[in-house]
Amino acid sequence: MYISENEVRAVLSYELLIPAIRQALIDYSAGLVDQPPRTILRAGNPDAATNGWFAVMPVIAGDMMGVKTVTFYPGNAEQNLPTHMAVIELLRRSTGEPLAVMDGRLITEMRTAAVSAVAFTALAPLQFESMPVSLGILGSGVQAHAHIEALRQVWPALKDVRIWSRTASHAERLAALAGARSVAIEEAASADVVLTVTSSAEPVLQGRGLRSNALVLAVGATGATLRELDDDAMRSSYVVAESRSCAERESGDVRMSGAKVEAEIGEILANHGAVAVPRGGRVVFKSVGMAIEDLTAARIVWQATMERAR
């Protein structure tokens, strides 16, 4: 069975995905997921504008196995192509039987935003005295739009969305679509919650521009030599990750700043009192994306598709 992106879009919703991702992150931190490091191959194209990478992400969890192959080509944006493209294969654990192959682009988009929404719901009540009302976004691409939609599902108090992009017209376009404001980077960075979803290889978010109690959702710059946050932002914050090992291996924000990952989000979700998230202090949640998240979304898509076919 092949499931196209249009078919994925018809059955996958944040209402279904966010609670499923929450449980998947708890299971991961509890040691119930078999997920080896992703394998990344550089494409090695001579033209930098068309260069990119190819990654393989296998995982076993519950009664399912899965593998995602994903590519990232930053130059695709200039050709009106998605920068990320992916395919996910879902298999039955008990027999190895292939159940479905599906387009993974939208799944990757939505599961990434769902992870941030789950992290927000876990961290904000521990960190803030009262629920925050402003969101600053650095970046204006696919992930920026997806995060606005996902966060609005879990954050009814959100009133003020501020968007900055290096290309002002892109920020203005997204702001018009999302009922937000296009602003200077300083205003975006001074929001209660700051989301970084850029493809920058060098820091765009400076610690000096953050509130003393800011919550930062750091999503872009996946790669050991890439980063969105400067040393001040990282070292002045309590750092939480999807996975210690993934962040320490794959996040330039963590590796290059020397910041310590204090907790996994799954540990906090399982027991809010297990770790001492600083009340009124800065917190950074760093995500790099994990195969268990893709498997979780793919399982929802497969089940829903089978039910529709009956």
Which domains are assigned to the chain? 2-107+292-309 (3.30.1780.10), 115-289 (3.40.50.720)
pLDDT tens by residue, 92-112: 999 999 999 999 999 999 999
* CA separation for the pair 101, 278 (Å, rounded): 43
Residue 20 CB-density burial (10 A; 0-12 exposed, 13-18 middle, 19+ buried)? middle
Segment 167-176 long-range contacts (CB within 8 Å, at least 24 positions apart): 167/140, 170/140, 170/141, 171/140, 173/140, 174/140, 174/144, 174/145
User: pTM of the predicted model, to two decimals?
Assistant: 0.95
Amino acid present at 226: L
Q: For the chain, list the strands marked E by DSSP.
A: 2-3, 33-34, 39-42, 53-61, 64-72, 84-92, 98-103, 134-138, 160-164, 181-182, 193-196, 215-218, 238-241, 261-264, 283-286
Which pLDDT score, from 0 to 100, does residue 146 have?
Answer: 98
- For tokens 């793919």, what's the residue? 298
pLDDT tens by residue, 66-78: 999 999 888 887 8
Tokens of 236: 């002045």
Res 255 pLDDT > 80 = yes
Which pLDDT score, from 0 to 100, does residue 274 have?
Answer: 79
pLDDT tens by residue, 167-199: 999 999 999 999 999 999 999 999 999 999 998
Tokens of 133: 């009302």
pLDDT tens by residue, 115-136: 999 999 999 999 999 999 999 9
Which pLDDT score, from 0 to 100, does residue 48 have?
Answer: 67
φ and ψ of 273, to 5 deg: -90, 0
